[in-house]
Amino acid sequence: MVSEIAHSQDKRLVEVARLFYREQLSKTEIANRQQISITHVNRLLRDAQQKGIVEVLIKPPRFEGLEAELSRRFKLREVRVVQSTRDPESLRKVLAEEAAEYLQPHLKNGAKVGVASGRTVFETVSAIREGPRQIEIYPLNILANSETEVKSLSANTIATVLWFKCRPLAKAFRFELFFPHQSFPEVRKSSRASLGHPESRKLRSEMGELDVYILGISELRPDSQLVEFSETCGVDLAALTSKGVVGDVAFNTIGADGNLIAIGLEDLIFQVELSDLKNASNKRDRFVVLVGGGIDKLPAIKAALAGQVFNRIVTDSDTAESLLSTLDPAPDHARRLSTH
């Protein structure tokens, strides 16, 4: 008896939702047709959302003109541009949803996929629809650590989320530089030993030959994962700035020209090599996707674009317009792309 009542209630929820969203009837028209009050209609529509019968998708507009111009001027394979928003959290969500929609067709069976750390990549992977995919997943950047408390979204965590989304066919790898309760000199010594292990070198070599790279980008801000780590190691924000660092991609610290700047902490970081990202971005069959936007990230995005660190980007309209107004394309970019 209870199940029959619940079934009858669900049927009414579906019917009211169909009339409102599909047939575009007003709430007054639905109330008259169903012989209920407008208040009851509102409650039924709310219940339909709460029970998952109705899902509201807000799809920001894309800017095909900006996409085409960015792609043409900088010889990018593909560009996705979404509506800018002043709220960083909202912008990150919009970028991630667009990136996930773009990436899903490219997570094909047999693909080898690398994921970087950070919130934007985490949101992107979280927005990918679940479904079995026979892919291999690699974390692209890991920091040495001696603390047991979790303080950031590591690439290992994000690789695990993507594995969960693509189970049971997916396979994910992990790499740890975790040395609990060691002093900094001990951590450095242990990290060097781990990075020099044959299995570590093998994994890093494999990371240079992936089919898909999902990257975020970070500007030099005090609360960025790499800056906080650097400060614990005695290299503060001022020191990074004085070296010419404008941001990082998968913990590869880059200058305004997009080239690598050593900061003296390389023996404490496991990451895909910047040269491997550049090589992959110059190959037609590789998807090196940068997901990032916002004016704060503009200097870092400009640098990564100048250095040809990626060949596809998902960004926002304000950032796209700023890139077009301030950047000139690299002179040999077209020539190098045409040779691969």
| 292, amino acid identity | G
**Mean pLDDT in the chain?**
90
What does DSSP say about strands 141-143 and 78-82: parallel, antiparallel, or unpaired?
Answer: unpaired
> Strand 112-115 and strand 212-215: pairing?
parallel
User: For 155-162, what is the mean pLDDT?
Assistant: 97
CA-based R_g, the chain, Å:
24
User: What is the tens place of the pLDDT at every residue in 239-251?
Assistant: 999 999 999 999 9
Q: Do the Cβ atoms of 91 and 316 come closer than 8 Å?
A: yes
* β-pair partners for 170: none
Residue of 60 and 158 predicted with greater confidence: 158
Q: Where are the alpha helices (DSSP H) in the chain?
A: 2-17, 27-34, 38-50, 64-74, 88-103, 119-127, 155-166, 184-196, 198-207, 225-232, 237-242, 274-281, 298-306, 317-326, 333-338
Please choose, from the candidates 288, 313, 287, 283, the residue with its C-alpha nearest in 3D space to the C-alpha of residue 301: 313
Instruction: With a cut of 60, say whether residue 57 has pLDDT above it.
Output: yes
The pLDDT, as a whole number, for residue 7 is 61
- Tokens 């299995």 locate to 199
Chain segment 214-265, per-residue pLDDT in tens: 999 999 999 899 999 999 999 999 999 999 999 999 999 999 999 999 999 9
Classify residue 268 by its DSSP letter: G
What is the structure's pLDDT at 335? 38
In angstroms, the first-to-last Cα distance of the chain is 68
CA distances from 101 to 59, 119, 124, 180, 319 (A): 11, 17, 9, 39, 20
Q: If you ran DSSP here, which 8-state letter would residue 295 be given?
A: G
Which tens digit of pLDDT belongs to each residue from 106-146?
999 999 999 999 999 999 999 999 999 999 999 999 999 99
pLDDT, position 58: 66
322-332: per-residue pLDDT in tens? 999 876 555 44
pLDDT of residue 296: 93
pLDDT tens-digit map of 285-315: 999 999 999 999 999 999 999 999 999 999 9
- pLDDT band per the 50, 70, 90 thresholds, residue 185: very high
Instruction: For the beta carbon of residue 169, count every other beta carbon within 10 angstroms.
Output: 12
pLDDT for 265: 95
CA distance 45 to 40: 9
CB 275 within 8 A of CB 307: no
- Residue 257, CB half-sphere, CA atoms under 13 Å: how many? 5
Query: Is residue 308 a contact partner of residue 281, using CB atoms and an 8 Å limit?
Result: yes
Q: What's the confidence (pLDDT) of residue 4?
A: 54
With beta carbons less than 8 A apart as the criterion, state whether 116 and 155 touch. Answer: yes
Please report where in the chains the tokens 């975020």 appear, as a residue: 216
Contact in structure between 247 and 254 (CB atoms under 8 Å): yes
CA distance 311 to 320: 15
Amino acid at position 126, single letter: S
Segment 74-81 mean pLDDT: 94
pLDDT of residue 22: 84
Mean pLDDT of 1-10: 61
* Better-scored residue on pLDDT, 77 or 337: 77
Give the per-residue pLDDT at 327: 63
Residue 104 has pLDDT above 50, yes or no: yes
Q: Average pLDDT in the 61-71 region?
A: 88
DSSP structural state of residue 51: T
Domains and CATH numbers, the chain: 2-50 (1.10.10), 64-338 (3.40.50.1360)
Residue 240: predicted pLDDT: 95
| pLDDT of 337 above 60 | no
Residue 1 pLDDT level (bands cut at 50, 70, 90): very low
For residues 153-173, average pLDDT: 96
